[in-house]
Structure 1
Amino acid sequence: MFSLCEPAFFTRLRDARRVLIAGAGGGFDVYAGLPLALALREAGKEVHLANLSFADLYGLDLEAWVEPDVAAVGPDTPLRGDYFPERTLARWLREHDQPSTVYAFPGTGVGPLRDAYRALLAHLGGVDAVVLVDGGTDILMRGDEHGLGTPEEDMASLAAVAGLDEVPQRLVACLGFGVDAYHGVSHALVLENLAALEREGAYLGAFSLSRESREGALYLDAVAHAQRHTASRPSIVHGSVAAAVRGDFGDVRFTERTRDGELFVNPLMTLYFCVDLPGLARRNLYLDRLEKTALLRQIGSAIEEFRDTLPRQRQPRAFPH
């Protein structure tokens, strides 16, 4: 039983002493976990950060690899180019006297990624909880929607962690409702999926990231820091969320990357939508097809093959109000 005085997400983590928060979809997804990590550390928990990486991790020095397919990225980890979200976050963490290692997984299929998770958990001495964080909400798509967003990395992470039955608590937290519209996601269908999860007891509710909170203020600082240090490819997702946290609205401009599109920054982007990870995995219609994948491209092929079998897709719906 939950109480209105405490979001259900944090109730589920109340007894956890050691928590791993991992970006599910690559890129800057791990930044969606930063406010959660700060809040949990303030509550006295040991929190580690990880991310499915888009960086060229195989260009790292050997000493960066702590386990097979697990790199420990610090503020001074060398890698060519400025696009290295894990290192950028590690540098911000060091500047703010926070533990500054961000673990990184290369993009692989489900089997190797699950092995990498297990190797990291062993390296950390075990954890009581794993939280996957998604910048956006396309991890909530079950597979029969007209648009799935960019599902390959999210589904690799979801399937990998769904198989970690030894971890007592496994949760998903999504930040940035609406940002996946650019990739064809119907957010009316996102809400329909959340309603179905609620009926099954797997929806853990929502709560807002406020700029008046310590965690919100530090998140804004971290996103601004990342934009300065990744000038060639700043995050559109977190640029949008940060704008919403500041109270901006509509077609907000913060990078040239969005010059050919129109954004709809709004307060819903500041909400964390939280679900039980095993419950979400059970609702997915094709996750079992990904079990034997070794490469990320095999996940894309498996999703396409599944969608070819559908008699129909759930069509986008407009909000009625």
Structure 2
Amino acid sequence: MYNEFFGLHSPPFRLTPDANFLYLSKGHSKALSFLRYGVYKEEGFIVVTGEVGTGKTTLIQSLVTSLNKNEVIAGKVVYSRLNADDLLRTVLASFNLRYDNLSKTGMLRTLEEFFQFNRRGNKRVLLIVDEAQNLTAEALEELRMLSNLELDGEPLLQTFLLGQPEFRRMMQAPEFRQLLQRVTAAYHLGPLEQEEVSDYVLYRLHIAGSSGKPTFAPGVSATLYRHTGGIPRRLNTLCDRVMLSAFLDHVDRIDSERVETVANELETELGGAIATDADTHRAVGENTLGLNGYDKQAVAPLDKEHLTPQQQQGLSRLEQTMDEMRRALRNLLGPGR
């Protein structure tokens, strides 16, 4: 909605991971180096953990995009709440291999033949498993067994495990001792440092086509950091809403007072914390006016009488913002729209 007003060709703060917008902070640069090291190590497991929204998926997108497809074949498992057999089917699907009507033995044989075929063609096979903290012990053991496959003494598969901090604690359990011994590198991705927040925001605006708008008053980055803790997804949520607020007021300079006001509104609307889950708490902004893909008619009406005074205040502010957005959109489109 605000792209044209600020002279942008794409939304700068969307929540969907996009490797084109990857800002290489000190932590992200180091994590990416670990991942690249892992690719050319050609064996074992590389583990990257981090809080929700720190940019693990975006890092992986950047890595996969940079790989030479004539040298590395990459598959990705996103849905990890799977038992061992379903995990094997998902691994097969990630490499575009058929699994219909295959027994477990048949699935393992198909994977091994695929790995061997690529090894003979001087290609490495890389498996990326996201949300690894959701894997069952049986599924993790299946991954460990796949890592045992070799051809002429050379490993056939390398695996990256991406997960939230609890995955690090999982790996310390006695039943995962053998898997832990296969980990060749591990890195925990933290949030941005306070001094990196300003560069992060300006970088994303630059990639989106900014030629200097909006401008920022002193102290904005410190306020952004205080409300988001430097978590990139939280920053995106807050910045998107701040840009929307500035657009609705027809101003192209953002100050700390505006950031503070918008942050407090978001925290009220979302029950005390700025959104950290792209699938549940979406910022009101570009392409976020629906209900996460659900039919609006299927959603029960909200019973306002049972809301707390704080929730009622937050809802009132949200409704007011929506009315302002509708008016701004009508003005933008012209009469009769």
Question: Shorter-chain TM-score category?
Answer: 0.3 to 0.5
TM, length-normalised to structure 2: 0.31
Larger helix share, 1 or 2: 2
TM, length-normalised to structure 1: 0.32
